């Protein structure tokens, strides 16, 4: 580790050298998929693509996209490239909307994964001196174990508390001197709220670094998290998904000017979600990722559904790897309300700054008179405000006007009792879509 960079050779590589490496690995991957995965063999054969036809990185455009539906349709092992005896771990999604997406890892895959996570945790400020409490749920979810082994690789001390049991989480933080936390942004904020509600002074906590992920976090919410913990707490974002190993594809450095992509392992494109056309560098659109070194279940041009853009300019931190901007939403989470595209992050940004409300909210979508209507449910900090009509009406109007200015559409604002919106130790449920229910007249 030198100058706060874990792998100087790869994180500071010159772009021509990087692109030569990416092209070499892309050609190897296409050949590997063609020979070892029947699903890809058929796809590539139909598209007329072979490894010797990949002459430049731009030739990736001729390879068909892979989607989450492909993984579900081939459940459980139809896209694996190695026999079970060569797998050392399997993870899977919850499968709440159909078959889970199942992913497998060879020993080499796990080594690459740990290396990827090591880079982003060091970039964020972790080191061999860090005491890291992992508040992700351990199990089939990739987040906890992914961060766990990467942090151990850099020599950090890992406290694998898993999710839930908030009072014990806080006790361990105080007693162990935890200085780094791994959690979703919403749970990190909830822990700060719970800490302030207990008798222990905030000075008893030594948290200085947050490695936050698994759900979106607007800059406004991050500021709120840092203010709630105080004491110089510095929150960073990282990105990944099980189809691409898990956390470790990209992460923020201390400059917090985008998430550095591990480009020697991941080749990224940005496309138009509707047409599938590849967009010019710097454009905003759907992120598509090819996992160049993944072998247990290789991944060619995986459509993430996440909306971002990529900056290829070197960073002030010294790294030359491209940086993806924070995800502004998902193409499949985007709500279209009376012709307007709405992301939960836009509403979250509008709500930050009202001291009367907590950071917990939900978007409820209903169908009325053959049109979609959006209700924003916001939790009050002080429930007595519900009995003060003038103040309540004033707050509703201020929130309504700010959201309408940002979205450009009419919304209903509902202010609800404190603690009445469900808390989640994993991803917060921001959208409640009731449009499939019987229409309200």
Note the pTM of the prediction, 2 decimals: 0.82
Domain for residue 371, yes or no?
yes
Task: From residue 127, give the alpha-carbon distance in Å to each of 116, 150, 153, 257.
Answer: 15, 11, 10, 21
Q: Would you place residue 294 in the very low, low, confident or very high pLDDT band (cuts 50, 70, 90)?
A: very high
Domain for residue 303, yes or no?
no
Domain for residue 141, yes or no?
no
Domain for residue 403, yes or no?
yes
Cα-to-chain-centroid distance, residue 327? 8
Task: From residue 145, give the alpha-carbon distance in Å to each of 136, 150, 205, 292, 300.
Answer: 9, 9, 25, 21, 24
Q: Residues near 18 by Cβ (< 8 Å), separated by ≥ 6? A: 263, 264, 320, 321
Average pLDDT over every residue of 410-415: 94
**Joined tokens for residue 262:** 């591990």
Domain for residue 313, yes or no?
no
pLDDT, tens only, 346-378: 888 889 889 899 888 999 999 887 678 899 999
Distance in angstroms (rounded) separating the CA atoms of residues 86 and 84? 5
Q: Report pLDDT for 161.
A: 97
Contact 312, 304 (CB under 8 A): no
pLDDT, tens only, 185-225: 989 998 998 999 888 999 999 999 999 998 878 888 899 99
Can you give the three-state secondary structure of the chain, one letter per residue? CECCECCHHHHCCCHHHHHHHHHHHHHHHHHHHHHHCHHHHHHHHHHCCCHHHCCCHHHHHHCCCECHHHHHHCCCCCCCCCCHHHCCEEEECCCCCCCCCEEEECHHHHHHHHHHHHHHHHHHCCCCCCEEEECCCCCCCHHHHHHHHHHHHCCCEEECCCCCCHHHHHHHHHHHCCCEEEECHHHHHHHHHHHHHCCCCHHHCCCCEEEECCCCCCHHHHHHHHHHHCCCCEEEEEEEEHHHCEEEEEEECCCCCCEEECCCCEEEEEECCCCCCECCCCCCEEEEEEECCCCCCCEEEEEEEEEECEECCCCCCCCCCCEECCCCEECCCCEEECCEEECHHHHHHHHCCCCCEEEEEEEEEEEECCEEEEEEEEEECCHHHHHCHHHHHHHHHHHHHHHHHHHCCCCEEEEECCCCCCCCCCCCCCEEECCCCCCEC
For residues 319, 6, 107, 139, the Cα torsion angle rounded to the nearest 10 degrees is -90
Q: Report pLDDT for 372.
A: 85
Average pLDDT over every residue of 427-431: 78
Q: Report pLDDT for 93.
A: 83
pLDDT of 441 strictly over 60 = no
pLDDT, tens only, 219-274: 888 999 999 999 799 999 999 999 999 999 999 999 999 999 999 999 999 999 98
Q: Report pLDDT for 413.
A: 96
Q: Report pLDDT for 425.
A: 60
Q: Report pLDDT for 427.
A: 67
Please, what is the average pLDDT of the chain? 92
Domain for residue 423, yes or no?
yes
Distance in angstroms (rounded) separating the CA atoms of residues 253 and 152? 19
Q: Report pLDDT for 394.
A: 92
Distance in angstroms (rounded) separating the CA atoms of residues 300 and 64? 8
Q: Report pLDDT for 96.
A: 54
Q: Which residue has the higher pLDDT, 109 or 1?
A: 109
- Domains contained in the chain, number: 1
Q: Would you place residue 98 in the very low, low, confident or very high pLDDT band (cuts 50, 70, 90)?
A: confident
Distance in angstroms (rounded) separating the CA atoms of residues 323 and 309? 9
Contact 12, 320 (CB under 8 A): yes
Q: Report pLDDT for 376.
A: 95
**What's the domain range around 381?**
335-433
Domain for residue 49, yes or no?
no
CATH number of the CATH domain containing 340: 3.30.300.30
Q: Point out the least confidently predicted range of 169-178, 313-322, 338-347, 409-418.
A: 338-347
pLDDT of 319 strictly over 80 = yes
pLDDT, tens only, 15-54: 999 999 999 999 999 999 999 999 999 999 999 999 999 9
pLDDT of 135 strictly over 70 = yes
Average pLDDT over every residue of 139-150: 96
Percent of the chain with pLDDT over 70: 96
Q: Residues near 69 by Cβ (< 8 Å), separated by ≥ 6? A: none
pLDDT, tens only, 70-79: 999 999 999 9
């Amino acid at each position: 580790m030198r100058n706060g960079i874990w792998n100087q050779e790869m994180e500071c590589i010159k772009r021509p050298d990087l692109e030569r490496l990416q092209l070499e690995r892309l050609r190897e991957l296409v050949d590997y998929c063609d020979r070892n995965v029947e699903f890809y063999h058929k796809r590539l054969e139909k598209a007329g693509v072979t490894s010797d036809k990949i002459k430049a990185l731009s030739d990736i455009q001729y390879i068909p996209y892979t989607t989450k539906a492909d993984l579900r349709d081939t459940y459980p092992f139809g896209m694996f490239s190695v026999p079970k005896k060569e797998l050392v771990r399997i993870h899977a999604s919850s499968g709440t909307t159909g078959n889970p997406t199942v992913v497998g890892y060879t020993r080499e895959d796990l080594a690459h994964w740990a290396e990827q996570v090591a880079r982003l945790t060091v970039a964020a400020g972790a080191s061999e001196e860090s005491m890291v409490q992992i508040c992700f749920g351990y199990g089939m979810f990739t987040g906890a174990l992914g961060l766990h082994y990467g942090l151990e690789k850099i020599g950090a001390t890992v406290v694998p508390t898993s999710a839930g049991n908030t009072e014990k989480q806080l006790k361990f933080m105080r007693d162990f001197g935890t200085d780094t936390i791994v959690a979703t942004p919403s749970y990190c904020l909830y822990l700060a709220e719970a800490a302030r509600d207990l008798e222990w002074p905030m000075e008893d906590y030594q948290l200085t670094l947050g490695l936050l992920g698994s759900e979106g976090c607007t800059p406004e919410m991050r500021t709120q998290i840092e203010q709630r913990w105080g004491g110089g707490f510095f929150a960073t974002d990282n990105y990944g998904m099980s189809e691409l190993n898990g956390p470790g594809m990209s992460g923020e450095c201390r400059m917090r000017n985008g998430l550095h992509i591990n480009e020697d392992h991941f080749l990224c494109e940005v496309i138009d979600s509707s047409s599938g056309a590849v967009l010019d560098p710097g454009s905003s659109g759907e992120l598509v990722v090819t996992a160049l070194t993944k072998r247990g279940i290789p991944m060619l041009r995986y459509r993430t559904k996440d909306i971002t853009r990529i900056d290829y300019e070197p960073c002030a931190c010294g790294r030359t790897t491209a940086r993806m901007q924070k995800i502004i939403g998902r193409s499949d989470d985007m709500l279209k309300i009376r012709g307007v595209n709405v992301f939960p992050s836009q509403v979250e940004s509008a709500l930050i700054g009202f001291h009367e409300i907590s950071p917990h909210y939900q978007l409820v979508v209903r169908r009325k008179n053959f049109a979609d209507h959006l209700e924003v449910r916001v939790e009050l900090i002080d429930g007595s405000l519900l009995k003060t009509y003038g103040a309540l009406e004033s707050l509703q109007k201020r929130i309504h006007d700010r959201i309408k200015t940002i979205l450009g559409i009419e919304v209903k604002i509902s202010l609800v009792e404190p603690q009445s919106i469900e808390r989640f130790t994993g991803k917060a449920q921001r959208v409640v879509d009731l449009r499939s229910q019987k229409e309200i007249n």
